[in-house]
């Protein structure tokens, strides 16, 4: 099965092999995938290495790589809101949080593509030694970023794409969707016991978990809802600080470090 790496700043993953189809997720520059099948008109179905998410992408957003590069660990990430790189000598701007393999090397090859880093990337953190200041710095880079269904970048992000991207820079592996992330971590029994970096999950009228955010403390949360914003939270859930309207009903709190 062929292996590939994303060579555009943000690669949409679509539900069907059409540019009109729903974007269900994204792969950022440098993320690897397996090509599962080939469709018509340059479409390929891929499985993302990081979280196992599957979707349709266009083949010109990818470069074929060998198994050794695919199996190499992610070591670094792009730390600026935007970051300049060169692909085959041509400049490109890529967003915060792009994972890199061999990120300590300024020039490397991805298949037929020569990659040159213009800015020094940051090392992925250790899940055994989490830096809360680093978590907060990363989270607040997204402040006022527009909500985008399926989004994972500072140019547009959904609630679980936001939490996943922040946590991956810390060395904590989260699954893609909110309900999947809620299956990870350990339960925090009461909001009053919450610590910075705990995740709060919220459900809909049918009891399905549909939203997630990062707790700043026991009374504030940063989350992607319309845009990335900071709102008050209590035992019932989130209240929009601008309108005073209750927007999300608290279901559970989980801790990951």
Strands 74-77 and 122-123: antiparallel
CB-neighbour burial class of residue 243 (10 A; exposed 0-12, middle 13-18, buried 19+): exposed
**CB 55, CB 13: distance < 8 Å:** yes
Query: Active site includes 223?
Result: yes
Q: Give the 3-state secondary structure percentages of the chain, helix then strand then coil, rounded to 5.
A: 15, 45, 40
The residues near 101 (Cβ < 8 Å, ≥ 6 apart) are: 30, 32, 69, 72, 73, 74, 75
Q: Which of 61, 76, 223, 248 is catalytic?
A: 223
Residue 32 designated active-site: no
Q: Is 159 a catalytic residue?
A: yes
Name the helix (H) or strand (E) containing 167.
helix 159-169
Q: Pick the catalytic residue: 48, 61, 98, 211?
A: 211
Distance CA 246, CA 31 (A): 37
Residues serving a catalytic function are: 159, 211, 223
């Amino acid at each position: 099965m062929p292996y590939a790496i994303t060579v555009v700043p943000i690669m949409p993953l679509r539900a069907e092999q059409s540019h009109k189809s729903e974007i269900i997720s994204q792969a950022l520059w440098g993320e690897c995938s397996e090509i599962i099948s080939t469709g018509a008109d340059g479409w390929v179905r891929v499985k993302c290495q990081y979280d196992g998410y599957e979707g349709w992408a266009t083949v010109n957003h990818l470069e074929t790589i060998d198994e050794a590069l695919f199996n190499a660990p992610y070591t670094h990430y792009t730390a600026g809101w935007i970051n300049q790189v060169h692909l085959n000598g041509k400049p490109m701007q890529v967003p915060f949080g792009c994972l890199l393999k061999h990120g300590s090397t300024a020039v490397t090859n991805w298949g037929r593509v020569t990659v040159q880093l213009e800015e020094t990337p940051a090392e992925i953190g250790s899940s055994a030694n989490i830096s809360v200041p680093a978590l907060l710095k990363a989270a607040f880079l997204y402040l006022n970023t527009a909500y985008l269904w399926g989004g994972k970048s500072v140019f547009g992000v959904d609630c679980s794409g936001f939490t996943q991207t922040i946590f991956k820079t810390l060395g904590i592996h989260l699954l893609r969707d909110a309900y999947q992330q809620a299956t990870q971590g350990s339960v925090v029994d009461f909001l009053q016991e919450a610590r910075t970096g705990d995740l709060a999950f919220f459900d809909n009228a049918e009891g399905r978990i549909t939203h997630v955010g990062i707790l700043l403390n026991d009374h504030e949360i940063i989350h992607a809802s319309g845009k990335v914003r900071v709102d008050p939270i209590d035992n019932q859930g989130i209240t929009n600080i601008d309108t005073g309207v209750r927007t999300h009903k608290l279901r559970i709190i989980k801790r990951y470090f």
